[in-house]
Structure 1
């Protein structure tokens, strides 16, 4: 996304170290692109300030691709014409987040921090060697639960602890990085990452930074928030600062340390706004970019000078017509502006650290056994330690686990918040069923898939087809596969996100089945005819532009998710389209002279106006079931003349429910009656799927995940998105139907990753009829004879 103009102002004054009072007018400067890396899927970047004269100036950037995913390391000034020189690439799995931590342990070593979306592991790499050599601290690996979107670090002046904050959909985990101690409390040369906090956030952050004792974060709603950075396990007070960039989406946050003041740099769509951290109600300047087509995501500032950039360097994740990359710009133009600001090129992040800070001792409480903070008065007889998550007792000498790992039948607690589960159970509570997939589809031809659909053949169900989406620019369209995952066809399309099926639409006297999707490339509703053989072909009116009245409802409305509805009341066919803003549009599909046409008949905002995408409609019950990614699962009446009042089916764990954000794909399994059957929901951050009863009171049934199937060489599912299912008998291998799910990264047996996404195919009988849950009699809620055409 483009960095906001506001950034230029912030950077200028921040870099110059001039008080806000010295300049009453906003400045505006323009930076040119001085250097750029090769094409890489870029999102975030961190610049390393080396110890004086020891190492080259390095920066680390993420690599978000499936095949080469991880992070890369560059010498900032090592290339030709000031362009960076790539030193190394580390394949840790598709990633979005990177950062630096300084002066860890008694030896005060510096580390690169990265977090992989593929396996959810925080990894540390020690920076050593004049060529930027990194040493992997594997013993410090820490698994993170959930879908994450922001990463920032800070160092406590009170205890000397180095903190890492990982943020996701309305949640945050706090960790400390430290040298590991043995049973005798002796330090070692190995590191450990220990969780200290977990609490809810009011928004999904796109970025965060820590400065002046506060953690700042912001996201799509344009608001900026903060909470105190403190040595505590307590839930802090979160302050809503407002909309510093006029409500524009916040894509990046960094601080600049001037000689006298600290400045907050707020990146928005096409610029960066600069604020005095003590006065965040008014921007003092804006940084723009000479390339008006340049779009920016994360960014970082190197405050020291160099021959190429004597006043410092701005490094950013950018994209233009050539593709995505990491770019660099000299900050010198900032100091040639009329404001006459002066740069602070003496900055060293280590200067903010009290080298003598040590964790407080409380010997009367055994120093909390190293897994808690000491109370203010440790000598009081009533004093107890403030224990880290997973520890308990007055001296933090006991370990605990969530729900005691569903002990004893499903697992046991063997470490702090660490369960050892009994097969087939898995998950943080040993309450998730592990069900391997039978097959996976052949590669889709694109890196990003999403929500699939299953088309049931009218006469021979074994010839039914799986229809999948590729929403990335490369390979964009719909793929068609048989029930074992072999590709049989497909069509190119405009980046379809979700796909659904309408059966038996009367077109010129013919009964036609249609695929329906929201195509993001051209912001349309796109439809294709399904032939009796299961092929996709174009149809007249298959591309429907949004009507002009949509712009009156929401400026810049962009289609995102979609699902379809066949009304049992009127026989009319409907299409639901949503945007990330949660605005749902309901269209009636009609046919005029053999040409498809759509008419907007209803609109409403869903849930709590959090981001939405996945949805499915229960036709017989006229119920639209939709997922609000950061909050929960809802049911709305589907008829166009009904009042759009939603019923909450379940919410996320941080709100007291059983779902984990992101709440993504939603599908439905029909039963023998209108009350029988199940709703299946995918939870992206956990790669788990929750199952609920089809109708109110929507009782929670169970959850499952998809591990490796070594017998059939089908890999696990990671960072899942869309899901579809049918309970109909599709042949000998699928007597109770199947479930098809999106897999973000297709992992090969040798540990490598494929560039194209795949979809995994499971037997519904393996899930609902599993021996571990057979006493629940769940298969009785499925109708193997279900026919979508009746």
Structure 2
């Protein structure tokens, strides 16, 4: 790596606005939105350079919706008024990530690479530039476990290998896309091989690779990082480069390949900053957009010219008041605005293909059997290959698995980090119990659900109700269901994210049960009364705006997650509200002038200031448990006068723990004493749930996941989010209570996705009392007579 300390300081100065450039030296240009697609949930775009000028330039963009999720293919200039023409759509499952790799193998084929959030598979589609079609490459899919948010590609100048970086919350995987050797060529002629994995400090929104092999990625905390791309499995040194002077989140990164200089385009929410990669001591200028309502996500650059855009096109994922879409703008105004920027309309990503070296040979080490890198001195008697993950041995001839698949009773290692598990065990190590759901709720009326709650009936627990959230604009509100998932009611609301129950709140001369949620549409605390029959009705003061004091704490505070607390010390009722920034607000709930009223009594930043959402409070022990999505589970004292000092209960796997990012929903099951019971945490990227002892939360008990229940026609849970549970007897079918979880994609029996989200309903006895874990006697920790009103 030739990047020096001086380089990092200069970049930091530029991004912080500490430059030597005057305002006259920097350009500022406003681009018109020349073309746009129809509405689509857009996040990332990748542009395809055809092999011949007579072929149409294409671009692919993700589709993040539940029903039509996957990606789409457009002719860049095929529509009216320069708008893109949609050619095809591929329903691979809700997706964020698409990229393109060029000239793979001896036939030098081009491929679209995409990753589905729904099933976690990396897939390849061969590109036919002449006929403007894509062909799915069957049998090459690679399972990628985790919740991933950025993807970029790199071709090694040392070996010619075509790599794909997949980045998520504090974890990175690098895959090699290559032609199979003649010895192993069965089925498809190409394969995807994992070559490296290591932790990263944040969740990236975007990444890009410079011509000299420097990988840049932008974190959700607004900071830019880099590391060198090398043919090695060793963890590279990651450098924190800097952050924008505005402090805004970095939404996109791309490199423009110039004739003499290369430029780094750094996207913010409403603008793009441009830097010369060789002179990162100053920003060259700013690109803005005529549509003042436009919010940017990631983007792509097509450098070749066209009649409408003779100096290239900017393609971006955007959103305005009309919804999300992919837009296009001409780059002509950008190059006209600055004499320092020089266009390169002859750029072709294949230009250097013939110059790429062949993989290094080390015949004395059997060329590492194709699953490792040759050492510097392969003739040394002590030389060993640098093996890819899942391979070991001097010549990488041995296949290994994590924890040996918890064998021999639970699974066997049948491929590199690939376990074949014995039912009911599943997961990457065969250490996760598969527990099918018994029911699912009827469709919610909206595509995006999140966190549920269970309201326990005061006299007949079998008449208890499940309350769910819909946080999407369409169908926004709370749904009410019986214990078998039949809808019994609900209310509209301002995009509630999490919901919780306060029991027995004194309102005038009566006690009422309240649902409490954080409503994102208008940044309020929204509350409804739960009647004795389980209906939701409005209550005076049920919508509480945030006080002005919050602006002094954080100007851009947006409500996100929430949970409630009834103090055993003072009898006061409290509400916790958080934002993605990890700022927690604690309110005391009271009645004033016949209306609900809230008072801010405490605030603090949680954990390591990573993104937060799910939380739950152990009332008798006055402990707040909260999930920090990239880091783990934390415990804080819940009393407002207590120091906000947190204790890390468990880390994510990145830090040696048992949780997988994203750490999302958190729920609590009470026991017969204040020490008995369990905490359950949902891990979104793996759609798994970890169970911990309430008395000693650091003590892990078990984990489970939710597969298809074919007998009852209830589909599996994917990309899970919120979770709730009660450990009380809710009737003959639920002697130890139930667990209700969010399911991101509601899959039909034929494998297609339905529009509206559902929630899955499980028996707690099926989980804690499963035959394979009977020896742990976990059900003894549950109080089947628990009453939330006592």
Tell me which interval the TM-score lies in, with the shorter structure as reference length. Answer: over 0.9
| 1:514 corresponds to | 514
| 1:498 corresponds to | 498
User: Which structure exhibits the higher relative contact order, with contacts defined as CA atoms closer than 8 Å and separated by 6 or more residues?
Assistant: 1
CA deviation map 1:354-411 (0-9, x unaligned): 4452111000000000000000010000000000000000000000000000000100
| 2:413 corresponds to | 413
Q: Do the aligned residues in 1 keep the contact of 2:614 with 2:722 (CA within 8 Å)?
A: yes
* Aligned pairs (5 A) from 1:239-388: 239-337=239-337, 339=339, 341-388=341-388
Q: Do the aligned residues in 1 keep the contact of 2:311 with 2:331 (CA within 8 Å)?
A: yes
| 1:92 corresponds to | 92
The 1:609–1:274 alpha-carbon spacing in structure 2 relative to 1, beyond 3 Å, is same
- Give the C-alpha shift of residue 246 in structure 1: 3.8
Higher mean alpha-carbon deviation, 591-600 vs 657-666, is at 591-600
| 1:210 corresponds to | 209
Q: Distance in 1 between matches of 2:338 and 2:197?
A: 46
- Give the C-alpha shift of residue 594 in structure 1: 2.6
| 1:598 corresponds to | 598
Higher mean alpha-carbon deviation, 721-730 vs 210-219, is at 210-219
- Give the C-alpha shift of residue 592 in structure 1: 2.1
Per the alignment, in what secondary structure is the counterpart of residue 685 of structure 1?
Answer: coil
Higher mean alpha-carbon deviation, 226-235 vs 129-138, is at 129-138
| 2:197 corresponds to | 198
- Give the C-alpha shift of residue 132 in structure 1: 1.1
| 1:488 corresponds to | 488
The 1:170–1:640 alpha-carbon spacing in structure 2 relative to 1, beyond 3 Å, is same
TM-score, length of structure 1 as denominator length: 0.96
Matched, 1:575 2:572: no
Q: Distance in 2 between matches of 1:480 and 1:186?
A: 54
| 2:8 corresponds to | none
Q: Distance in 2 between matches of 1:239 and 1:338?
A: 30
- Give the C-alpha shift of residue 237 in structure 1: 0.4
| 2:392 corresponds to | 392
Per the alignment, in what secondary structure is the counterpart of residue 284 of structure 1?
Answer: strand
- Give the C-alpha shift of residue 79 in structure 1: 1.1
Higher mean alpha-carbon deviation, 131-140 vs 296-305, is at 131-140
| 1:175 corresponds to | 175
Can you give the 5+ residue segments of structure 2 that lack an aligned partner in the other structure?
1-10, 12-19
Q: Do the aligned residues in 2 keep the contact of 1:739 with 1:764 (CA within 8 Å)?
A: yes
- Give the C-alpha shift of residue 335 in structure 1: 2.8
TM-score, length of structure 2 as denominator length: 0.96
The 1:120–1:612 alpha-carbon spacing in structure 2 relative to 1, beyond 3 Å, is same
Aligned length: 771
- Give the C-alpha shift of residue 179 in structure 1: 1.0
Q: Distance in 1 between matches of 2:186 and 2:436?
A: 42
Per the alignment, in what secondary structure is the counterpart of residue 61 of structure 1?
Answer: strand
The 1:292–1:132 alpha-carbon spacing in structure 2 relative to 1, beyond 3 Å, is same
Matched, 1:553 2:553: yes
Q: Distance in 1 between matches of 2:494 and 2:398?
A: 55
The 1:574–1:21 alpha-carbon spacing in structure 2 relative to 1, beyond 3 Å, is closer
- Give the C-alpha shift of residue 56 in structure 1: 1.3
| 1:781 corresponds to | 781
Q: Do the aligned residues in 2 keep the contact of 1:222 with 1:246 (CA within 8 Å)?
A: no
CA deviation map 1:224-275 (0-9, x unaligned): 1001111110111001111145421000000001111111110001000001
| 2:459 corresponds to | 459
Q: Do the aligned residues in 2 keep the contact of 1:220 with 1:248 (CA within 8 Å)?
A: no
| 2:708 corresponds to | 708
Q: Distance in 2 between matches of 1:246 and 1:380?
A: 54
Q: Do the aligned residues in 1 keep the contact of 2:137 with 2:188 (CA within 8 Å)?
A: no
| 2:766 corresponds to | 766
The 1:768–1:91 alpha-carbon spacing in structure 2 relative to 1, beyond 3 Å, is same
- Give the C-alpha shift of residue 342 in structure 1: 3.3
| 1:5 corresponds to | none
Q: Provide the aligned C-alpha RMSD in A.
A: 1.5
Q: Distance in 1 between matches of 2:754 and 2:187?
A: 39
Q: Do the aligned residues in 2 keep the contact of 1:454 with 1:467 (CA within 8 Å)?
A: yes
| 1:645 corresponds to | 645
Q: Do the aligned residues in 1 keep the contact of 2:679 with 2:697 (CA within 8 Å)?
A: no
The 1:340–1:687 alpha-carbon spacing in structure 2 relative to 1, beyond 3 Å, is closer
Per the alignment, in what secondary structure is the counterpart of residue 636 of structure 2?
Answer: strand
| 2:154 corresponds to | 154
Q: Distance in 2 between matches of 1:246 and 1:103?
A: 40
Q: Distance in 2 between matches of 1:131 and 1:290?
A: 35
Higher mean alpha-carbon deviation, 744-753 vs 121-130, is at 121-130
Per the alignment, in what secondary structure is the counterpart of residue 202 of structure 2?
Answer: coil
| 1:670 corresponds to | 670
Q: Distance in 1 between matches of 2:365 and 2:155?
A: 25
CA deviation map 1:314-345 (0-9, x unaligned): 01111112111111111111233253743110
Q: Distance in 1 between matches of 2:565 and 2:682?
A: 21
Per the alignment, in what secondary structure is the counterpart of residue 773 of structure 1?
Answer: helix
